[in-house]
Amino acid sequence: MYDFLIVGAGFSGCVLAERIASRLNKRVLLIDSRNHIGGNAFDYYNEHGILVHAYGPHIFHTNSKKVFDYLSRFTEWRHYEHRVLANVDGCNVPIPINLDTLNKLYGMRMSSREAEAFLESVRVPVETVSNSEEAVISKVGRELYETFFKHYTKKQWDLWPSELDPGVCGRIPVRTNRDGRYFTDRYQAMPKNGYTEMFKKMVLHPNIHLMLQADFQSVKQLVPHRFLIYTGRIDAYFGYKFGKLPYRSLRFVFDTIDREYVQETGTVNYPNTFDFTRITEFKHLTGQVHRKTTIVYEYPSSDGSPYYPIPSKDSAQLYAKYKAEAEKLSGVWFTGRLGSYRYYNMDQVVGQALTLFETTIPHATVKEGIDVYD
């Protein structure tokens, strides 16, 4: 008999397995349908000996000291601040838009104050922002919207910004200084030896049993357990009874090149050309020294593994139905991106898992008459 069956060995599942095993001294069976732990953050050394991220670049950043300190128990860090360029008319300019972007794009030498005045002059006032197009044009006007946002968003989501919730594009900052960092969080770093090594240390506990390439439906029938934590698709758990929640997926094409570097920065976006959205060069992220380099092209797709919940009114209404079903269950928790149907950053997933552990799980075990700290 296991105390907990945890479905999904990504961030949510591994954090909760570690907390339950080490703090509550409970037996945990952690399963995953894939042949590895780490979920979409899984990384590995390819045939050339280059450390790559199997499911696209994962850049860790957070403002939460609590989250950073927790993960620091399982990894050393390499300081890394991610920088992204956008390829526009054959010219690479910083993204998010900053002072250097504007000056390079328009061949000007504006100061920060002049850039603020420029953006104010081109922005389109919108009384009530109702979609991503309005969120962007109200900040930067139509020309910059067309240049950086409109077609990139269409490639990524197969929807125009006018069809998406304001938060999809609206959360991207616009700066009038020369800060070229993609993120401005207090803690920005990469696991020194990779994400997979961090996950391995997280689940290395005698109370945690790991089962890979495991089918949830089979395991739940065969393995007795008291509680269930489900980090997979919430609609799949309920047999898609209300229909499938929509997701966008990605197709990755890797290429190893006999050069030390091919890009000047970790990621280059392609908002208006080609079918792929961006190219990432891993050695910028990992700091690895190697005479060759590996890049990955990302092609958005409607088919494949679920990556991005589609933020629309219809999908929100559909998720609400599944959430209502979940709330009827006892001793079952849904968490993580797929369980919550939200595109959380990695630190947000960790924070959500820690909060679930601290506020809910011990109380539930006590309620069921199980000694939490036996």
Contacts of 58 (CB under 8 A, 6+ apart): 40, 41, 43, 195, 346
Pairwise CA distance, residues 195 & 79, whole Å = 14
Pairwise CA distance, residues 327 & 311, whole Å = 22
Give residue 291's pLDDT: 98
Give residue 366's pLDDT: 57
Contact 85, 269 (CB under 8 A): yes
Specify the residue for token string 């797709």. Answer: 301
Give residue 367's pLDDT: 56
Contacts of 216 (CB under 8 A, 6+ apart): 7, 31, 33, 230, 232
Which residues of the chain are under the pLDDT cut of 50? 369-374
Give residue 189's pLDDT: 98
Pairwise CA distance, residues 321 & 342, whole Å = 15
The long-range contacts involving 70-73, CB below 8 angstroms and separated by at least 24 positions, are 70/15, 70/350, 70/354, 71/191, 71/198, 71/350
Give residue 1's pLDDT: 93
Residue 147 DSSP code = I
Give residue 368's pLDDT: 54
Which two structure tokens, joined as six digits, stand for 146? 């067309």
Pairwise CA distance, residues 177 & 111, whole Å = 8
Specify the residue for token string 């945990």. Answer: 28
pLDDT tens, 114-134?
999 999 999 999 999 999 999
SS3 196: helix
